[in-house]
């Protein structure tokens, strides 16, 4: 994707902006950003005039097929936008109304071991450390090294008289931030934030949830996107920005980022969306390196899916770390899995705290600040719901 032509002009309404962009650029023209500015006399509000500063251009995608329409994705986007519009028309609501959705829960049946089994593990049975893990209420999808470490710690705590639930709550305190008076600022970690992650983990929807929370709290926020590989990605995040009435910028190259950032006061929260990548896609990783070098984020979050395989998640985080520094992890799609080992082994393996958890498509209701109490309660509730040690 490359910007082959760019224009800037002023308009009084969005409809006028789109009409003028189409007249000057033709049917291939797209709006890159719209900023609202006021002119006149600040001390005389009735003399203030509103105008829109518009950037538009033509984007061309070379040697890449246009993505096919995904009806299911469009349906979810329409549901999200419906909620955002309802919130926008009624600012007094404390939270977004719920979207009714049919939920499918799969229950895993685990048969108990037969009584009278011979002493000692039979051929092909799990190693002693794995059997010890099954005896303790720890997730089964933990890597062996993490399982052994947690089992030993839990055993010592039990011998000292500390109940397992209390030990677990204390353990996960080191895996996330303490909320403080402003949980959103604490978990974001700064005003210039970059969010990375593999394709399909839900980065753009997560950014929309964070933006909606910021708007609810009255924070100044602007959304940037450098994901020019997918034409639909620009339209999706632009729509979120338009509904929330916040600025939006399309980044076509790293060199233009400093001038875009200078348009906003230092206290503005700027969240950079990035192209999704596979850990073998060196061209996209180099693109991320370039964007990071010019954007200079205070904090970089990597988003990974709770439904991913541990080996793939490790490869993704390691490949990202080889390109740019990572400070925090966003764990997405927790609602789509019954395996919760990633809540434990990811921070243990990489020494990175969690910042947010996402639990569905609803904006912004299905996002949680990563706190020790929420983590521990989720793990304990999952065990009790299945009536098995995970």
Mean per-residue pLDDT of the chain:
78
Question: Is 71-91+174-386 a CATH 3.40.50.300 domain?
Answer: yes
In the predicted model, is pLDDT for residue 99 greater than 50?
no
Output the pLDDT for position 380.
86
In the predicted model, is pLDDT for residue 131 greater than 70?
no
**Which of 167 and 54 is assigned the larger pLDDT?**
167
Return contacts of 83-89, CB within 8 angstroms, 24+ apart: 83/362, 83/363, 83/365, 84/212, 84/240, 84/243, 84/244, 84/363, 85/243, 87/212, 87/216, 88/243, 88/244, 88/245
pLDDT tens across 321-374, in order? Answer: 999 999 999 999 999 988 888 999 999 999 999 999 999 888 878 999 999 999
pLDDT tens across 71-84, in order? Answer: 666 666 666 666 66
pLDDT band at 189 (very low <50, low <70, confident <90, very high): very high
pLDDT band at 191 (very low <50, low <70, confident <90, very high): very high
In the predicted model, is pLDDT for residue 105 greater than 70?
no
Q: How many C-beta atoms lie closer than 10 Å to residue 191's C-beta?
A: 20
CB half-sphere exposure, 77, CA atoms < 13 A:
17
Mean pLDDT of 51-75: 65
- The DSSP output letter for 178 is -
Of 296-300, 306-310, 329-333, the least confident: 306-310
Q: For residues 70 and 23, is the Cβ–Cβ distance under 8 A?
A: no
CB half-sphere exposure, 162, CA atoms < 13 A:
13
Output the pLDDT for position 46.
56
Output the pLDDT for position 124.
46
- The DSSP output letter for 175 is G
Q: For residues 48 and 39, is the Cβ–Cβ distance under 8 A?
A: yes
Domain boundaries of the chain, sorted by first residue:
2-60, 71-91+174-386
Of 38-47, 279-288, 320-329, the least confident: 38-47
CA atoms of 304 and 342, how far apart (whole Å): 10
Element (H, E) at 49: strand 49-60
pLDDT band at 116 (very low <50, low <70, confident <90, very high): very low
In the predicted model, is pLDDT for residue 179 greater than 90?
no
Q: Is the pTM of this model over 0.75?
A: no
């Amino acid at each position: 994707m490359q910007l082959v032509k760019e224009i800037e002009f002023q308009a009084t309404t969005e409809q006028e902006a789109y009409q003028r962009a189409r007249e000057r650029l033709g049917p291939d023209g797209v709006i890159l950003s719209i900023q609202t500015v006021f002119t006149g006399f600040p001390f005389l509000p009735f003399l203030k005039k509103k105008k829109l500063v518009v950037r538009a251009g033509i984007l061309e995608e070379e040697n890449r097929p246009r993505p096919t329409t995904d009806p299911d994705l469009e349906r979810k986007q329409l549901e999200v936008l419906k909620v955002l519009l309802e919130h926008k028309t009624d600012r007094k609501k404390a939270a977004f109304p719920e979207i009714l959705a049919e939920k499918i829960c799969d229950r895993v049946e685990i048969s108990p071991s037969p009584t009278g089994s011979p002493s000692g593990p039979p051929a092909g049975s799990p190693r002693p450390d794995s059997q010890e893990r099954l005896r303790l209420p720890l997730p089964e999808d933990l890597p062996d090294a993490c399982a052994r470490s947690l089992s030993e710690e839990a055993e010592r705590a039990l011998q000292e008289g500390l109940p397992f639930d209390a030990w677990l709550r204390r353990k996960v305190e080191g895996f996330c931030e303490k909320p403080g008076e402003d949980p959103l600022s604490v978990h974001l970690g700064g005003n210039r934030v970059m969010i990375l992650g593999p394709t399909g983990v839900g980065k753009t929807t997560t950014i929309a949830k964070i933006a909606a929370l910021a708007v609810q709290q009255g924070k100044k926020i602007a959304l940037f996107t450098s994901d020019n590989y997918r034409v639909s990605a620009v339209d999706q995040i632009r729509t979120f920005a338009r509904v929330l009435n916040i600025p939006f910028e399309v980044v076509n190259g790293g060199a233009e980022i400093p001038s875009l950032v200078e348009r906003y006061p230092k206290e503005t929260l700027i969240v950079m969306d990035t192209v999704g990548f596979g850990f073998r896609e060196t061209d996209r990783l180099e693109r991320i390196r370039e964007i990071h070098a010019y954007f200079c984020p205070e904090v970089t979050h990597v988003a990974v899916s709770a439904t991913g395989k541990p080996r793939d998640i490790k490869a993704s985080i390691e490949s990202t770390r080889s390109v740019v520094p990572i400070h925090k992890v966003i764990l997405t799609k927790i609602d789509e899995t019954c395996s919760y080992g990633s809540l434990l082994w990811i921070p243990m393996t990489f020494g990175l705290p969690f910042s947010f958890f996402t639990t569905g498509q609803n904006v912004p209701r299905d996002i949680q600040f990563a706190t020790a109490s929420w983590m521990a309660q989720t793990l304990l509730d999952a065990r009790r719901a299945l009536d098995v040690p995970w």
